[in-house]
Amino acid sequence: MAHRHEVIVVGAGGAGLATALYAAREGADVAVVTKLYPTRSHTGAAQGGIGAALGNVEEDHWEWHMFDTVKGGDYLTDQDAAEVFAKEVIEAVLELEHMGLPFDRLPNGKIAQRRFGGHTKDWGKAPVHRAAHAADRTGHMILQTLYQQCVKHNITFYNEFHVTDVIVEDGVAKGLVAYELATGELHLFQAKAIVIASGGFGRIYKVTSNAYTLTGDLQAILYRKGLPLEDMEFYQFHPTGLYPLGILLTEGARGEGGILRNALGERFMERYAPTIKDLAPRDMVSRAMYLEVREGRGVGPKKDHVLLDLTHLPPEVIEKKLPDITEFSRIYLGVDPLKEPVPVMPTAHYAMGGIPTTLWGQVIQDENNTVVPGLYAAGEAACVSLHGANRLGTNSLGDLVVFGRRAGIHAARFAKDADYHELTEEHLGESRERIERIKNSAGKEKVAALRAELQQTMMDNASVFRTGGLLAKQVEILKELMDRYRNISIDDKGDAYNTELVEALELGYLLEVSEALVHSALNRTESRGAHAREDYPERDDANWLKHTLAYKVADGKVTFRYKPVVLGRFEPKARTY
């Protein structure tokens, strides 16, 4: 089956839908190819809010938001991206409101805002109310609102289609190959412009807030093709995952006044970030929690977690402003946050790194910002380097809308003057071979067992704290897992809804992105943001104030190039809060 659309977006989360909507508004014929029904996308799980300097509760300025983003990113953030973002996210939030997004309101009718980690006023002097929210279901509301708009604009959706190949020939993007889950057929898609908005890859870790579908498919597909992945060593662990499940409890809980406590009942964040305490950036809070546990102040029979205490807050604040997380802790742990503190520990949450792009979402292939014509990326799959070495809470929802919109507008304008490229049945060959090989294999390895091993070893050797020794060990483990992956077999040989085949393909993607992450982490001999090397505890601006571009040469063999960080009005300084 062949399909043809001017702009094709891969992924129907916040970034994909924003891209599709703005491309359609530019007059392009737009389609979205997604492995999930759109409103099931992972943006729907985002709870806390979308940060913008609206100044509805107290004085705020986009310059302060930009400063917090750069400082939060440990000065690896490209400052031109942070500036575009801090300005345009204000407009983006108001546009969402005009589309009908049901934000919480202040008594005067304006959009309500809450505090959030790392967001400050007056260049870091005190926390600020900046996160616009719809209870603790903000991502869900953004997703629903954008999807309704896409339906209104008659955008074509290919739901439950798994992209298996991006056709890039002579340095130009020409189309896609996708596997239709319902029939097992491969489809060919012709496009003038392709936008990758396929989300993150938290499923490389055992404890994660990410849905089962977040397997880094498109990052891996482009990486195999010789395109680079940028800053993959920076992976964020969110401090408050429900222990031991990893289900997320929003930072909004701390924004509303929640306090982290150790076994002694101490508010331990006072030791690590005296000014903004529990609202320090996520990388710092996650490390503080691990240190408390490591030093014997953990809670429970195994002393292996800490507590999030909301019991001092008025019950109506918890029930009204944080209804979802209250329900989560009651359902999954049998803990009532009104009456007792909730057990929490960091959970793998967000990739700062990904497919490198320009400020307009154009995918670049080297340190000179050489563009791949017709190829774009936005959202968590992309790295415009807004987030640097550590993303601030709320900045991902802002990122989706701001850079999704920019990618959509640019892609539509590019498509106006571009031609379609000839594609033939032969372009299906590589995907067909891979699928047939898995289906016909008589190998002894099982997907679930390999995936469990990958997730456990990544957790042990490449998570919150890292050392050269552990990362080198993980390099060897990944090589061995990749060898064993060639030997996997599946029991389901059918065509319709073959989820076992899909999981086998996804395991391949997980292995690829893990390889890029671990090699990049071993290569960066400093600590910065979410990348904490215990053997190199200091940030090293002299040698490492630069972006990593990781290129795959062969399994287990990765080469690096480097791209300068775009500096600007904020000089790199030590990060204290």
Query: Could you tell me if 306 and 338 are in contact, meaning their C-beta atoms sit under 8 angstroms apart?
Result: no
Angle at 562 between CA 64 and CA 73, to 5 degrees: 20
CA distances 51 to 61, 63, 492, Å, are 12, 13, 46
Backbone angles phi, psi at 383, to 5 degrees: -135, 95
- Say whether 282 is catalytic: yes
What DSSP character marks residue 55?
Answer: -
Query: Could you tell me if 548 and 520 are in contact, meaning their C-beta atoms sit under 8 angstroms apart?
Result: yes
Q: Determine how many CB atoms are found less than 10 A away from the CB of residue 98.
A: 8
Which two tokens mark 413? 């304008």
Sign of the dihedral through C-alpha 550, 553, 559, 563 = negative
What DSSP character marks residue 388?
Answer: T
Q: For every residue of 448-495, which 3-state class applies, written as one string?
A: HHHHHHHHHHHHHHCCCEECHHHHHHHHHHHHHHHHHHCCECCCCCCC
Distance CA 94, CA 111 (A): 9
Backbone angles phi, psi at 257, to 5 degrees: 120, 5
Using a 10 angstrom Cβ sphere, with 0-12 exposed, 13-18 middle and 19 or more buried, the burial of residue 556 is middle
Active-site entry in 282, 466, 528, 539: 282
Which two tokens mark 328? 């989560």
| Residues contacting 156, CB < 8 A, separation 6+ | 5, 30, 31, 32
Query: Could you tell me if 348 and 237 are in contact, meaning their C-beta atoms sit under 8 angstroms apart?
Result: yes
Which two tokens mark 111? 């959009």
Query: Could you tell me if 182 and 497 are in contact, meaning their C-beta atoms sit under 8 angstroms apart?
Result: yes
Return the CA Rg of the chain.
Answer: 22
The catalytic residues are 282
